[in-house]
A and B are shown apart, each in its own frame.
Chain A
Amino acid sequence: MSKVKLIARDLEMSFGARLLFKADALALCQGDVIYLQGDNGTGKSTLMKILAGLMAPTKGHIETVGFAKNAWWRRNPLLGKAVYLHQHPYLFDGTVEYNLTYGLNFSSETKAKAKQRITQAIEMAQLGSLLHARASNLSGGERQRLAIARAWILQPKLLMLDEPTSNMDKDSQELVLKMIQQLKYEGTGMLLSSHQNCALTAICEQQWHIEGEQVMTTYPHSQSLPAQEPLYVIAN
């Protein structure tokens, strides 16, 4: 089966008269792990939401390659396949188990496979003892783990993680890192945003940087290249 791919062309996002960012061409493929950098208010979350199909850009369009065609009542092929995780994840009113299995109500996964994924997700996110607890009673780290596990169960082709380890203690960060590495191992394409370099950003192979209302893509900082000099600019 071919890898899925998102290609954004001539993207432009404005709120009223204020231009947030522009990008000539951006590509996010299954298997890519991209680090999205930018200051507060530069539009990192907005860009992620656009690529996840939750928002429409002011200009430009997103091409989808390799996504299964949905039924007419689910015209947006990205929903459920390119999953966006909020910086502060929203957990539905109910138990941890309800939240964990929420997305499976809309997937075509067989019951046996779904059950297997649920068991794995519980183990991976260490949520076994919390399954019947109310989601609203979880700590910040537990909420984030639950949110990632909830997405992981769906085996998304692409995943946008908005500041996934912000305000988390070291143990929770390590656990989240393991979950993200597992997703990477399984071939999920990921776009991660973070304010600072950390263990999470070290696993990224490519960087996107929003600066001066432009989205630039660069080689990773680990390749002994000056971080401030983009080697390869897709969009500027």
Chain B
Amino acid sequence: MSDGWLALLQQALSLLFSLDPDVWSIISISFSVSFAALLITLVPSMVLGFVLAFAPFYGRWVITNLVQTLQSIPTVVIGLLVYLLLTRNGPLGDLKWLFTQEGMILGQMLICAPVLIALSQAAFTSVDRRAWETSRTLGASWCSAVWTVCRELRMPLLLAIVAAFSRILTEVGCSMMVGGNILNVTRNIPTAIALETSKGDFAQAIALGLVLLILALILNFALGSLRGKAMPRSH
């Protein structure tokens, strides 16, 4: 049994290090789609998180709770929604995005946004009001003061970004439904793992799983080094 595992691991590593074109195409699609979804969603979501944290407008409570609910919606349900939107007879059918990377990006944006909004709102809510006041009274413009506050909150905001990116990079349901799992077009790491496992080709599934594991390690160590030896701050 252990020899079997070892052999599989060797095959998986060989696929990765021999730069197997199929494996690296899957990795490349996975990263390009998820990065695009994250980049498009990042700024508007953070702005919305900021507004929900500070702007006292009517309906803020409802929106906050809606956003938090959206975080826990299964990705297949979002996949179904995007499928219905993009299908030939759907409201966005003319875009012809079904089974394309654009469609996957749209789906992942919908998954990513609630996580970013909710976590950034929580981060902004936790800010010490004196940070804003000190920045403003020392002459910072409104934009510079926002930047200063974001700098003060860089750890929770980075955590929000990492959490959102992890969620979209590892989701299966939406990518499978909207992308269709087409090799070299829409097949990404999670859909490939699901497919290869169902076919019994565990080596490729393990190779792709290793990529996700290594990425998780890199992200966490990067965050850890940014955090440094920071201790809880006294104000």
Contacts and interface: CB of A to CB of B under 8 A. Distances in A.
Interface residues of A, number: 28
A151 B131 CA distance: 15
What bracket does the count of chain B residues touching chain A fall in? 20 to 34
A162 to B, nearest CB: 11
A103 B138 contact: yes
Contacts of A73: 141-143
A82 B136 CA distance: 11
A83 B135 CA distance: 10
Contacts of B128: 90
Contacts of A150: 138
B3 to A, nearest CB: 52
A154 B134 CA distance: 13
Interface stretch (B74-82, B94-102, B115-123, B144-152): B144-152
A151 B142 contact: no
Contacts of B135: 92, 102
Nearest to A108: B139
A93 B234 CA distance: 11
A154 B139 contact: yes
Contacts of A88: 130, 235
Q: Main SS of the interface on chain B?
A: helix
A89 B134 contact: yes
Interface string A97-115: 0000011011100000000
B138 A83 contact: yes
Contact of B233 (A49, A52, A93, A107): A93
Contacts of A154: 138-139
Given A92-B148, A93-B151, A52 B138 contact: no
A54 B233 contact: no
A61 interface: no
Given A90-B128, A93-B152, A74 B134 contact: no
A182 interface: no
Contact of B152 (A74, A81, A92): A92
B137 interface: yes
Given A80-B137, A103-B138, 15 more contacts: A53-B136, A79-B137, A79-B140, A81-B139, A83-B137, A83-B138, A84-B133, A86-B133, A86-B134, A90-B130, A92-B135, A92-B152, A102-B135, A106-B140, A136-B233
Interface of B: 128, 130-131, 133-144, 148, 151-152, 231, 233-235
